[in-house]
Amino acid sequence: MRDARYDVLFEPVRIGPVTTRNRFYQVPHCTGMGHRYPRSEAAHRGLKAEGGWGVVCTQEAEIHATSDITPANEARLWDDKDIPALQLMTEAVHAHGSLAAIQLAHNGLHASNRYTRLTPLAPSAVVVDSDDPVQARAMDKADIRAFRQWHVQAAKRAKRAGFDIVYVYAGHDMTLLQHFLLERHNQRSDEYGGSFENRLRLFREVLADTREAVGDSCAVAVRLAVDELLGAEGLRHDVEARDIITALADEPDLWDVNLSDWSNDSQTSRFAKEGYQEDYTRFVKRVTRKPVVGVGRYTSPDSMVRLVRQGHLDLIGGARPSIADPFLPKKIAEGRLEDIRECIGCNICVSGDNTCVPMRCTQNPTTSEEWRRGWHPEVITRAGPVEQHLIVGGGPAGLEAAHVLAKAGHEVIVAEARRAWGGRVSLESRLPGLAEWARVRDWRMGQLQGLANVQLYLDSPLEAADILDYGIAHVALATGASWRRDGAGRMHRKPLGFLADAPVLTPDDVMGGALAGRTGDVVIFDDDRFYMASVLAEVAVAQGNRVSFVTPAAVVAPWADHTLEQARIQRRLMALGVTIVPLHGLAGYGAGQLELACVYSGARRFLACDTLVSVTARRPNDGLFQALAARAGDWADAGLARVTPIGDCHAPGLIAAAVYAGHAYGRGGGAEANPLREDRMLADEAQTGGSALVFGANAL
Ligand code: ADP
Ligand code: SF4
């Protein structure tokens, strides 16, 4: 039963010519699927509609071949042949009574056109914003007319594909329309550059074009970045963004407002908490009568109600919360708040898009697997008879496996050696900024506790003999992994003998409190290249040490670029006074001095070092597996049928990978045993001839 306090969230909202059934609005977000994996994309979006999101949007949809951001997998509407793929999505969304929205985009100087090899287009002749050695040319009047025409054509195609809401998009420093708005990108001296009115001209024109093209039956939404967090160097919410929205106040049917660039819009929980955008978006409803949607990684219905009651937002935008739990609206509707799988703000989803593969989610292992493996996040069925399962280890892999098996109706015992559940997430969530990661444990414990077919035992370190004594047929070993202390990793493939006599701590030691009480010169050696070393540097600083950060990489935490955190991490360490020594490996240790070697020249330098925190790689805790394997001859008599290592115990990786492995095991046998369908493009093999793509003045 729904709590009446939340009724307001289920009121319909009129958006121009269409009406959404409630206030839950899945704003545009990338999936890493897009045009390349259209069935997977459609199934993913359709599931959101099934879960109660009243509006479900695509990611950005490239409107033309001059906006080619290959190898990213975005949506495409280059020509008519792109319509069927998008139609799959609108049908999937409409099947559940939701509205489908499409975010049309021309990427301007953000597109290098690596595939099409067309010359990128921009307001002025500038270098593109990637590292590609490519320059965009300044659009002339014919180009501007052509661009307007492409946008109109794309809007009409979107309507034919069945979309209800069509976006005009100026955000994330990624679109031509925003490039025209911004002084730093637009150095034109004609009527499209210079003054505020001139820079706004193209935006105004495209908005009017879109309304004329499809506005009779489709709502026309504007997505606008209202602040770039660059101060006077960029767009500010209280200066130009306010002027833009005031100037166009009631022209669109909906304002979708956010921050730019993407790293500001989608900050991780390490750097920003729920609702961090509110100070920037609060003004919008004061200057327009049209509905406003905004995001803030909202998972709490109380926060959502507050935003509506305070007149801050009309629609609660969600991207990451809708990935972590596509059924969030439905769970609120059914009064099942404890079942909401809250996003932890880790941006592993974003890393999928940034590495051009279907996204994955730490909390929701079924993400992107809705079509491919046929996984539904809320439906877990049992194919065969009820079995007994023993899960050894109560970290993310073990808890996920247990909860999936239990939901399928199996008898499950979980034995955990420690006095607390959660394994590595419990330890890591105590590190600076990572508190929300505990949600990985808490949600799973919430699902498991109280189930009659589950027995949970803490303080129960099991050995091979115990497991044979239990005589349970199916055993999953989710015993995790331990950080190495010998320096071996990416740079140093073999253990470093000189570390045997050095004062080395591993991340496990530090998380166990080993740094406490030691002060002096702490050197963090990071060859892991993601988050761990930098959070340990924060711990070391907080404990009063002089801290140096040595890495063979060129920057701190390079992989964190994929989670949009790299620059923030580096800035934070610099602000904390950490000495950063990039491009160095370890060469020796003696008399309180760590010897470093330049990765290019081998040139040596020395650093004072009382404690070395070595963050390189982990070893699977597979001793139990080996011990059981050694007694394979006893299994049949003991009643053991199958012993499966899962998660970090199988191969150390991200928390998301451990959850995924646990889920796959719970569904039956592990990832390899779950059928994997290959999604192919809705290629036009049956059609003859190439696309008749037109560009430049030829389009007129
Ligand atoms: P994963 O990420 O694969 O879930 P974790 O390291 O987070 O791995 O969790 C592994 C858990 O397994 C830890 O909580 C650890 O205490 C527990 N564990 C390890 N060995 C045993 C054992 N022999 N018996 C019971 N629990 C164990
Ligand atoms: Fe949230 Fe992390 Fe899942 Fe993304 S991957 S939706 S940030 S829990």
Any idea which ligand is nearest the CA of 272? 2
Give dist(CA 403, CA 418) in Å, integer: 19
Q: What is the pLDDT of residues 240-275, one digit of tens each?
A: 999 999 999 999 999 999 999 999 999 999 999 999
Q: Is there an atom of ligand 1 within 6 Å of 345 CB?
A: no
More confident residue, 167 or 675: 167
Q: Is the pLDDT of residue 698 over 80?
A: no
Q: 97, 48, 53, 99: which is closest to 333 by C-alpha?
A: 53
pLDDT-derived band at 497, boundaries 50, 70, 90: very high
CA distance 525 to 487: 9
Pocket test for ligand 1, best of 346, 390, 413, 416 (most atoms within 8 A of CB): 416
Q: Are 144 and 215 in contact (CB under 8 A)?
A: no
Is the per-residue pLDDT at 463 higher than 90? yes
648-661 confidence digits (pLDDT tens): 999 999 999 999 99
**Helical segments of 449-545, H only:** 464-470, 507-511, 532-542
The pLDDT of 10-16, averaged and rounded, is 98
Residue 100, classed as helix, strand or coil, is strand
Average pLDDT of the chain to the nearest whole number: 95
Residue 679 has pLDDT above 90, yes or no: no
Would you say residue 500 has pLDDT above 80?
yes
What three-state secondary structure class fits 274?
coil
Which pLDDT belongs to residue 521? 97
Is 492 an annotated catalytic residue?
no
Which residue did the predictor score with more confidence, 2 or 445? 445
Q: What is the mean pLDDT of residues 123-150?
A: 97
Give the mean model confidence (pLDDT) for residues 333-361.
97
Atom 1 of ligand 2, residue of closest alpha carbon:
343
Q: Average pLDDT, stretch 99-108?
A: 98
DSSP 578: P
pTM over 0.85: yes
- The pLDDT value recorded for residue 106 is 98
Q: Does position 395 have pLDDT exceeding 50, yes or no?
A: yes
**pLDDT confidence bin for 672, thresholds 50/70/90:** low
Q: Find out whether the beta carbon of 430 lies less than 6 Å from any atom of ligand 1.
A: no
* 35 noted as active-site residue: no
Q: What percent of the chain has pLDDT over 70?
A: 96
Tally of residues, the chain = 700
For ligand 1, whether the C-beta of 418 sits within 6 Å is yes
Instruction: Supply the pLDDT for residue 670.
Output: 65
pLDDT confidence tier of residue 66, bands split at 50, 70 and 90: very high
| Low-confidence winner among 293-302, 408-417, 685-694 (lowest mean pLDDT) | 685-694
Q: Which DSSP symbol is given to 346?
A: -
Residue 590 CA to residue 316 CA, distance in Å, equals 58
Q: Is residue 323 lining ligand 2, measured as CB closer than 6 Å?
A: yes
- pLDDT, tens only, 576-604: 999 999 999 999 999 999 999 999 999 99
Kindly report the protein residue whose alpha carbon is nearest to atom 17 of ligand 1. Answer: 393
Tell me how far apart the alpha carbons of residues 588 and 155 are, in angstroms, rounded to a whole number: 63
Residue 61: per-residue pLDDT: 98
| Rounded Cα gap, residues 249 and 243, in angstroms | 9
In which element (H, E) is residue 330 found? helix 328-333
Ligand nearest to the CA of 299: 2
| Residues 401/392, Cβ–Cβ less than 8 Å | no
What does the pLDDT average to over 232-240? 92
Question: What pLDDT band is residue 682 in, cutting at 50, 70 and 90?
Answer: low
Q: What pLDDT is attached to residue 336?
A: 97
For the ranges 121-130, 675-684, 690-699, the lowest mean pLDDT is seen at 690-699
Quick one: pLDDT at residue 693?
43
Q: Which two tokens stand for residue 415?
A: 């034995």
Strand partners, 593: 590, 608
Annotation says 265 is catalytic: yes
pLDDT of residue 671: 62
pLDDT score for 689: 41
567-577 average pLDDT score: 98
Q: Is the pLDDT of residue 692 over 60?
A: no
Give the pLDDT band of residue 687 (cuts 50, 70, 90): very low
Q: Which of 85-89, 90-94, 104-108, 671-675 has the lowest mean pLDDT?
A: 671-675
Mean pLDDT of 435-449: 98
